[in-house]
Chain A
Amino acid sequence: MTVAAARPLLEVQGLVKHFPIYEGLMFSRRVGAVQAVDDVSFSIQAGETLGLVGESGCGKSTTGRLILRLIPPTAGSIRYDGVDLQALEPEAMRLKRRDLQIIFQDPYGSLNPRMRVEDIITEPLVIFGEKPGPALTKRARDLLETVGLASFHAKRYPHEFSGGQRQRIGIARALASHPKFIVCDEAVSALDVSIQAQVVNLLQDLQDEFKLTYLFIAHDLGVVKHISDRVAVMYLGKIVEVADKRTLYRQPLHPYTQALLSAIPVPKPRARRARMVLKGDVPSPINPPTGCRFHTRCPYAKEVCREIEPPRIAIATGHEVACHLVKAG
């Protein structure tokens, strides 16, 4: 893929989200902030899939929601197709939402239990003024068939479906308004492995068919490897390494990425390999470590890591790492 070819479809610059913590009931004061996302930048080319991986609580989902402006960022800019989404008036943003969609993690919580499947999946269309009628019903049935369900499912309620089927309904809803960009927020994490494979394949087929661009958020590196073109690794609100899939999985440079990759189970019981096991827990994002945020758990940490935050530097074309121990060239 030629990187310099065109303007990226999505460009995130210096994205920051701090959730303030208040104390006291009547006269509350701000006592701190959860630094969920801190200075995150990346870009996604049209038609590409960027995998975003990291441990629980590292800010992956928050990043996804910030991009869709479901929560307001503390700082930073999000440019979609050259338009700064933050600068849009609420109404203009609402109209932009046709192009940007999201698939949620929880197939049980993401469908309104009081609505029929056909009303759920055509809601994005009804919102933008399409009138209920035979055309809309037909569209609902087509969408259901596109995601591998049957058209006679349209009249049913969400509780009549299994988790995997519900996730397909969620995908059908995300496709309804012909979006160009979809955030898959742990879209397969809640599913059984066999169903995961089906849904991941479905997402890939849909990408080819409708020329979609994905931000694929997950904590399962195997799934990310399968679907992504490029992968960004997040740790405690920061992106520590970005590279195209092949490079990242073959030659991870950041110690955290190395640790993550060595944790992927290998389906060979007798295989021996060097496991890199991290000690301790993820530090609290309320009071993140100074310098490199990973230094408290990094087996190679040096003095400089404790004091100075490493900048993200390009090691090779498209391969960026934020680590003092990795030198350019």
Chain B
Amino acid sequence: MTEASSNIGYAPELDETPPQPWAFWRTDTFQRLIRHRAFMVGAVLFAIVALVGALAPLITSVDPNALSIRNKFKPPSWEYPFGTDNFGRSQLSRVVYGARLSLGIGLGVLVLNAVFGVLLGAAAGYVRKLDGPLMRVADAFMAFPAILLAIGIAAALGPSSMTAVIAISVVYIPRTARIVRASVLVVREMEFVQAALASGATHYRIVRKHVLPNCMAPLIVQLSFIFAYAVLTEAVLSFLGLGAAPPAPTWGNIIAEGRTYMREAEWITLIPGIVLAVTVLSLNLLGDGLRDVLDPRLKVQQG
């Protein structure tokens, strides 16, 4: 027996079962998620919308911008499952490609929020001197109603889908940063952070290895809600003509164009409206489920 392996004093209970390699589907978190009914409903609905958006060219071969004046205002039928609009464009194609645009914008907002929210939140929470200034700026942004601020920024930058992403991100980044900051403030005081400091870890290493990984749960929950708000806000912006320019088939654009003919051809506004509502609902259900499972402070008993 070597010196280092001289087993001092203590026999651990000998369950020699080799630990199985870590896999997400084997974790307790995942098991709880799949048993969470609301989460599964949300996840399945959202997966359908996302798949439809991703596979848009496979689902419909009709160009969403192809005009066919002869076929205008066709109600839903076998040929046009979602009907046609005032230019005879296939509503199915437009809604399907709209999923691609809307979710793409939502994803862009999500990524920007994750990156800047984490950076700013970690800076504010970990560096005491930055906390005051950063949070006062965040307060200033959050003092505006979300929609109003997004409209203002989008109007100032000029309408395009890129502006929509930036405008919506600017609205929600302070909120994300706040949530990250709150978690960082809690985690930085934990003893394992002190232990890392005592072991000679640099601050960069402490934040990256010890603080941030333990702040992920509330962030993931927040991001799922931000995705929902982003999709909704994007629809509002393009409805008001501040999102992607009109021929582009975003859900907001389709609803905006159809609203003039609401009495005669209600399907033009109704169907994208329902799809939008279902998408936002699915993300909210998903977020609720994630919060129940990941955020133990809000844990509710499941029967």
The interface of chain A, by Cβ under 8 A from chain B, is 65, 68, 70, 94-95, 97-98, 100-102, 104-106, 109-115, 123-124, 127-128, 142-143, 145-150, 152-153, 155-156, 165, 168, 170, 173, 177, 198, 201-202, 205-206, 209
Complex Cα–Cα for A97 and B194 (A): 12
Contact of A142 among B5, B190, B198 (CB under 8 A): B5
**Complex alpha-carbon distance, A181 and B210, angstroms:** 24
Complex CA gap A297/B263 in Å reads 87
In the complex, which residue of chain A has the Cβ closest to the Cβ of B205?
A127
Q: A111-B192, A152-B16, A173-B195 are in contact. Are A127 and B200 (CB under 8 A)?
A: yes
Residues of B contacting A127 in the complex (Cβ-Cβ under 8 angstroms) = 199-202, 205
At the interface, yes or no: B142 with Cβ under 8 Å from chain A? no
Chain A residues positioned under 8 Å from B8 (CB to CB): 146-148, 202, 205-206, 209
Give the chain A neighbours of B145 by CB distance below 8 A: none
Instruction: For A119, give the chain B residue with the smallest CB separation.
Output: B209
A146 touching B5, Cβ below 8 Å? yes
Q: Tell me, yes or no, whether B44 is within 8 Å of chain A by CB.
A: no
Which of A94, A113, A115 has a CB less than 8 Å from the CB of B200? A94
Chain B, residues 168-210, CB within 8 Å of chain A (1/0): the string is 0000000000000000000000111011111111100100011
Residues in B with CB closer than 8 Å to A205 are 8-9
Across the interface, name the chain B residue whose C-beta is closest to A141: B5
Q: Is the CB of A123 within 8 A of B196?
A: yes
Could you tell me if A114 and B191 are in contact, using CB atoms closer than 8 angstroms?
Answer: no
User: Taking the complex as formed, is B133 at the interface, i.e. its CB lies under 8 A from any CB of chain A?
Assistant: no
Would you list 15 pairs from A and B whose C-beta atoms are within 8 A, ordered by A residue?
A: A70-B194, A97-B199, A97-B200, A100-B198, A102-B198, A104-B191, A110-B192, A112-B192, A112-B214, A123-B201, A127-B202, A148-B9, A177-B200, A202-B10, A209-B6
Q: Which of B5, B196, B198 has the most CB of A within 10 A?
A: B198
Least distance between B17 CB and chain A CB atoms (Å):
9
Nearest to A205 among chain B residues (CB) is B8
Q: Which residues of A contact B12 (CB under 8 A)?
A: 148-150, 153, 165
> Quick one: given A100-B198, A127-B201, A205-B9, are A109 and B191 in contact (CB under 8 Å)?
yes
Measured CA separation A112–B216 after assembly (Å): 14
Is the C-beta of B81 less than 8 angstroms from some C-beta in chain A?
A: no
Known: A70-B197, A127-B199, A173-B195. A142 touches B19 (CB 8 A): no
B residues contacting the other copy or chain, number (CB 8 A): 32
User: Whole-angstrom distance from the CB of B190 to the nearest CB of chain A?
Assistant: 5
Q: How far is the CB of A175 from chain B (nearest CB, A)?
A: 10
What are the residues of chain B within 8 A of A94 when measuring CB–CB? 200, 202
Q: Which of B4, B14, B199 contacts A145 (CB 8 A)?
A: B4
Q: Are the CB atoms of B19 and A156 closer together than 8 Å?
A: yes
Q: How far is the CA of A105 from the CA of B191 in the complex (A)?
A: 9
Q: Which residues of B contact A65 (CB under 8 A)?
A: 194
Task: Tell me whether B190 and A109 are in contact (CB under 8 A).
Answer: yes
Task: Please measure, in the bound complex, the distance between the C-alpha atom of A146 and the C-alpha atom of B2, giving whole angstroms.
Answer: 10
Using A94-B200, A97-B199, A205-B9 as known contacts, say yes or no to A150 and B14 having CB atoms under 8 A apart: yes
Question: Digit string of B87-110 for contact with A (CB within 8 Å is 1, else 0)?
Answer: 000000000000000000000000
A70 to B190, CA, bound (A): 13
Given contacts A106-B191, A109-B191, A153-B12, contact A124 B4 (CB under 8 A): no
For residue A142, which residue of chain B has the nearest CB? Answer: B4
Nearest neighbor of B187 in chain A, beta-carbon distance: A112
The interface centre, meaning the residue of B190, B198, B199 with most chain A CB atoms within 10 A of its CB, is B199
Q: Please, how many angstroms separate the alpha-carbon atoms of A146 and B9 in the complex?
A: 10
> In chain B, what residue has the closest Cβ to A109?
B191
Q: A110-B191, A114-B213, A152-B16 are in contact. Are A101 and B198 (CB under 8 A)?
A: yes
By a CB distance below 8 angstroms, the chain B residues around A97 are: 198-200
Chain A minimum-CB-distance residue to B190: A109
State in angstroms the CA–CA spacing of A106 and B194 once bound together: 12
Instruction: Name the interface residues of B1-51: CB closer than 8 Å to any CB of A.
Output: 2-12, 14, 16, 18-19
User: In angstroms, how far is the closest chain A Cβ from the Cβ of B232?
Assistant: 33
Q: How far is the CA of A153 from the CA of B16 in the complex (A)?
A: 9
- Chain B residues near A102: list those with CB within 8 A: 194-195, 198
Contact of B192 among A68, A109, A202 (CB under 8 A): A109
Please give, as numbers and ranges, the residues of chain A lying within 8 Å of B16 by CB-CB distance.
Answer: 152
A177 contacts B194, C-beta separation under 8 Å: no
Closest to B3 in A: A209
Q: How far is the CA of A165 from the CA of B214 in the complex (A)?
A: 22
What CA separation (Å) do A105 and B190 show in the bound complex?
A: 12
The 6 closest A-B pairs by CB, nearest first: A148-B10, A97-B200, A142-B4, A124-B199, A110-B191, A109-B191
CB contacts (< 8 Å) of B6 on chain A: these are: 145-146, 209
New A-B pairs, 14, CB < 8 Å, besides A109-B191, A127-B205: A70-B198, A97-B200, A100-B198, A102-B195, A102-B198, A104-B195, A109-B192, A114-B213, A124-B199, A142-B4, A142-B5, A152-B18, A155-B19, A209-B3
Q: Which residues of B contact A198 (CB under 8 A)?
A: 9-10
